[in-house]
Amino acid sequence: MTLANKITVLRIIAIPIFIILFLDHHVGWARGIFVLSVLSDALDGALARLRGERTPLGSFLDPLADKLLLVATYIAFTATGAMPLWIFITVLSRDMLIVLGWAVVYILTGNSKIQPRPLGKLTTALQMSVAVAKLFAFPAGLYCGLLDAMIVATILSACDYVWLGNKRLERWDDLRARDDRGRLFDRFYSNRLLAGKALERDRRPSARLRQPGRDERFPGFGERSGITTLLIDVLKGFLPVFWCQRRFRTPLPWLWAPPWRLS
């Protein structure tokens, strides 16, 4: 694990400590941990860029840590009555909509790539600004202005992600339909090609002059099993004997009785 990823993991571990301190009214310690979390967010990103340690794990953990910190902060504000419940529901609904949309796109298309949108980054910055303004008791006018901007940005960002997910699904449907049409066309073309080859083969002079053989006129007639061949051979052996008996009126008792009964 790289150094940037270790810092991100420490930031995630610090989230429940921040919640406990804030709910126990240790606001000073809670502010300190919140500031350290925000600074560590900038630090791990800078380290990953400078040291060339960008990894898929870091790309997944960094936005996850930011989102967990924001949701935990708004939960703490709502639990203590410092913020109305509808604000928390608005913020959480957007995040749940993004997660559910990503799951649907991943299940249908197999594409797990998440592209941050400019409006989404602005919304995250405004949500963080509102949390900082509430936590550090900024003036009411500034806090209300940031709150209004954050609510509008959150709603617009949710609509933007819904539109983006719908476009991805439509593109996937078009590609799948095009692929199905291509397969049907290939199958139809191959059948027409085979039929054309068979027709061309039948139109050849040798094909018209050639007469079908006995086995072709009567399929299965020329095929003999082992028992049929044995019976035919036995009859061929006994035919001369029966012919001699009928021609010369000569009894042949040894044909009808065993030798030990002839005496």
* Contact in structure between 78 and 25 (CB atoms under 8 Å): no
Q: Which amino acid is at 10?
A: L
Ramachandran class of 25: left when φ > 0, alpha when ψ lies in -120 to 50, beta otherwise: left
Q: Sign of dihedral through CA atoms 123, 128, 134, 138?
A: negative
CA-to-CA distance for 16 and 37, rounded, in angstroms? 12
Per-residue pLDDT of 216-238, as tens digits, reads 444 444 445 556 666 666 666 66
- CB count in 10 Å sphere of residue 33: 20
Q: Where are the domains of the chain?
A: 1-82, 88-178
* Contact in structure between 146 and 126 (CB atoms under 8 Å): yes
How confident is residue 57, by pLDDT bands cut at 50, 70 and 90? confident
Query: Above pLDDT 90, what percent of the chain?
Result: 18
Per-residue pLDDT of 113-136, as tens digits, reads 667 788 888 998 899 899 999 988
* Contact in structure between 77 and 134 (CB atoms under 8 Å): yes
- Whole-model pTM? 0.62
Query: Does pLDDT of 15 surpass 70?
Result: yes
How confident is residue 17, by pLDDT bands cut at 50, 70 and 90? very high
Query: Does pLDDT of 185 surpass 80?
Result: no
